Every structure is written in C-alpha cells, then in structure tokens.
C-alpha cells in the first residue's frame, strides 16, 4: 500500500503496527532499486525475500521505502495462459505497433489480411501471425489466427498452428 507521496505503508499486511493504514493498494512487480546499505544488513548464507523479510523490517523501523506507480500496460506472464495473453495483446494492437520494430531482422508480421501475401505459395495465413527469421513453411501449412513462430521454425506439409507460440527452432 502506498500513500500519496508513494511511500510504502504496508507490504503483504506488514508491519502489523500499520495494519489499519489507508492508501492505494498496488502490486509488487519485482523491479527493485536498493541502497547498498540495505543489502549489507542481509546475513550471508541465508535465504531471504525482500517482500517478506527486508522491506517489512525497514517499515517497522520507520525507514523510507518508496514505490513507483506504473500506469502503462502490465501483465504477469508467470502462467501459460497469461504468457499467451500477453502475446495476443501485442498482436491485437493493445500496445500499438512499435513492438514490430524490435523483432529480429528478417521477421515477418501479418496483422491484416492484406499482409498475407508475405506467405509462401500454398500456405494459408489467418492474421495475426508472426514469423521469425528463417522460418520454413511447406505447402499446405495453415497458420493462425494467433500464431507466433520463432526463428528457424520448420513446419511440414499439413501442419496447422493456431493460438500457439513455437519457440526458436521448433518443428512440427
């Protein structure tokens, strides 16, 4: 929980002395900038977590811990369905189209039916589809919607890939 100045009041309900604090509830997205003096307090050879051990102790001693309120797109990709959702959000334009410029050289992006001409003869593409560099598609391959193929993926004739992500070098 953060106050109006972005100072952390509570982390996972700790410290208990501030359990009735009021402020904006937020999530902890695991990006941390920590003063080396704080790190020096951690005993060597001991497993700790900052959210359960370090930050609550700092708060109990009324030391300053601050958060940052990120207001842009964020999704936890720690589960397969959310990992897929993050890709589908990109393909649906939720984050604009700037991401296409960050793809490896030689990648092909098919976001609209007009873009399907990027396919090899005999290949059916149903947008949105992303093809990494060096992807090899045999005739009679059907891709999409929502197919992402990493670099050097190879698909044999008759392969059907939809709502899937194939990592670099995958074959089917």
Residues 6+ apart with CB under 8 A from 43: none
Q: What is the pLDDT at residue 93?
A: 92
With 80 as the cut, is the pLDDT of residue 19 above it? no
With 80 as the cut, is the pLDDT of residue 18 above it? no
End-to-end CA separation in angstroms for the chain:
47
Beta strands at 124-125 and 108-110: parallel, antiparallel or unpaired: unpaired
pLDDT, one tens digit per residue, over 26-55 is: 777 778 888 999 988 888 888 988 888 898
**pTM exceeds 0.75, yes or no:** no
pLDDT, one tens digit per residue, over 107-132 is: 999 998 887 775 678 899 999 999 99
Question: Mean pLDDT, to the nearest integer, of 4-20?
Answer: 75
What does the block give as tokens for 122? 């005999």
Q: Specify whether the CB–CB gap between 119 and 134 falls below 8 A.
A: no
Q: What is the pLDDT at residue 134?
A: 94
Q: How many CB atoms lie within 10 A of CB 98?
A: 7
Q: What is the pLDDT at residue 13?
A: 74
Instruction: Give residue limits of the domains in the chain.
Output: 1-71, 80-166
Q: What is the distance between the alpha carbons of residues 163 and 129, in angstroms, rounded to a whole number?
A: 9
Q: What is the pLDDT at residue 168?
A: 84
DSSP secondary structure code for residue 93 in this structure = T
Q: Taking Cα atoms as reference points, which of 129, 122, 158 lies closest to residue 143? A: 129
Q: What is the pLDDT at residue 145?
A: 97
pLDDT, one tens digit per residue, over 56-81 is: 889 988 899 998 888 888 888 989 99
Residue 134: half-sphere exposure toward Cβ, Cα within 13 Å: 10
Residues 6+ apart with CB under 8 A from 55: 8, 11, 65
DSSP secondary structure code for residue 94 in this structure = T
């Amino acid at each position: 929980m953060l106050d109006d100045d972005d100072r952390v009041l509570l982390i996972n309900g700790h410290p208990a002395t501030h359990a009735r604090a009021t402020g904006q509830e937020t999530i902890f997205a695991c990006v941390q900038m920590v003063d080396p003096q704080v790190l020096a307090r951690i005993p060597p050879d001991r497993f700790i977590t900052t959210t359960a051990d370090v930050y609550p102790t700092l708060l109990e001693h009324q030391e300053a811990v601050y958060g940052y309120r990120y207001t842009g797109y964020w999704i936890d990709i720690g589960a397969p369905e959310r990992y897929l959702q993050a890709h589908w959000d990109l393909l649906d334009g939720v984050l604009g189209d700037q991401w296409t410029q960050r793809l490896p050289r030689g990648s092909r992006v098919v976001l609209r039916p007009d873009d399907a001409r990027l396919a090899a003869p005999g290949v059916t593409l149903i947008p949105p589809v992303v093809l990494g560099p060096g992807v090899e598609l045999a005739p009679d391959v059907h891709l999409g919607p929502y197919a992402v193929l990493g670099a050097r993926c190879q698909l044999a004739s008759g392969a059907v890939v939809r709502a899937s992500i194939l990592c670099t070098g995958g074959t089917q």
